Structure 1
Amino acid sequence: MKYMSAFEIIGPVMVGPSSSHTAGAVRIGNLAGQLLAEKAKTVRFLLHGSFAETYRGHGTDLALLAGLMGYTTDSESIPKAFQLALMEGLEYTFEPTNLGLVHPNTVQVLAQGEHHQLDMIASSLGGGKAEVQELDGLPLRFSGERPTLILSHKDKPGFIAHLSQILDQQGYNIARLSLDRQSRHGDAITVCEIDETPSSALLKLLSTKIPDLQNIRQVWVP
């Protein structure tokens, strides 16, 4: 029997009206902002299903935009997201689309910063929970509810062993680990959820000691 937490029953502390269409959307924006790892200059939100049908009435547009700019689910600035984006010089569009066989509350986020770009598909699952479904064209799953490392690399033997060894030596416990790849020896992404917040020293160590590591990002949206 699966026991539900109080969070799942009551929902998050949030600015309404909807935990799925507002709080979950803020978390999706938070995930996108952390993955981009810099201030966005332009962003396109491609809205699917229920998101596409009700985004104006439920404030999903405001929530996604506010989350991308770093505001949290309980922020009173969410209703002012359009004005705040204008002040930051952030250009944005909201476009209904069909993303295929995905959760009805799903959005593709295409964001561009000064140095980086982001292509992410994520869903709001209810109760303020959100989950990334695809990143940089690769299918994967993570919520960011625990400190999470996202490592882009070539699919080569020994990558997971190197990663696990360094984390163990530095005293980090792995809570969940998954690898998705385009093809054998092709581009791959490893998602590593850990129990402790990673230090800058750990990130530097991983970047210098793991062969074939191309990029490392971190997210945490507790």
Structure 2
Amino acid sequence: LVAISLINIGIYQVKTLNVMPETTNESPTSSDLKDSDNLPDIYYIILDMYARQDILKEIHDYDNSEFIDYLTSKGFYVATRSRSNYLITILSMASSLNMEYINYLSDTLGTESADPAIPFEMIRNNKVSQFLKSKGYSYVFISGGFEGPGIRSTCAEIYTNQSRFGFSMFSSSLFQMTPLRLIVEQLTVVDRRTQILYGFDALANLPKYKEPMFVYAHIMCPH
């Protein structure tokens, strides 16, 4: 059963090579961002499925105002009526990290497609990191274990993925088709906890680096 699944996966990977979008190393231009020795660090932290304040109150009867008030007191802008562009994480991240809507993928893959290959590739080699690297930034990618096979970005100078057992969504799904699934399910819970805590620790340690950084951190919590 596993051998058949692996063969099917291999066939799928070959087929997806023919539909991958063309990529370019050209970065967007901007007259506002200048090369400087004092570039500020940029942190893009995804707390996956963290709902906005009014939704937390309406659905879970949880008052998150203390945290929101803390952020505003520190000068953060809080979008109180924000909405995700897409219902699925990989589509939202592929969109935001490339500064574009990606509705056009339905023309390439079909409206019923659940193929994640192109969105994953768009995350892996995204335009935001390429643009900021051209301006002198180092790209730091803190993975939360959500990403599929091969998602490690070729653009990132620093990549962290503190998976104790090496499970990704891909490998976990593969093990679900074997008698080992019950053991893997228990190990995955431990692995997820390790990755979440490590992600926060990694963020806390980054300020010691001197060079300007663009940090993309995907924390799989409270998902």
TM-score, length-scaled by structure 1 = 0.29
More helix by share: 2
- Structure number with higher relative contact order (C-alpha < 8 Å, ≥ 6 residues apart): 2
TM-score, length-scaled by structure 2 = 0.29
Q: Indicate the structure (1 or 2) with the bigger Cα radius of gyration.
A: 2
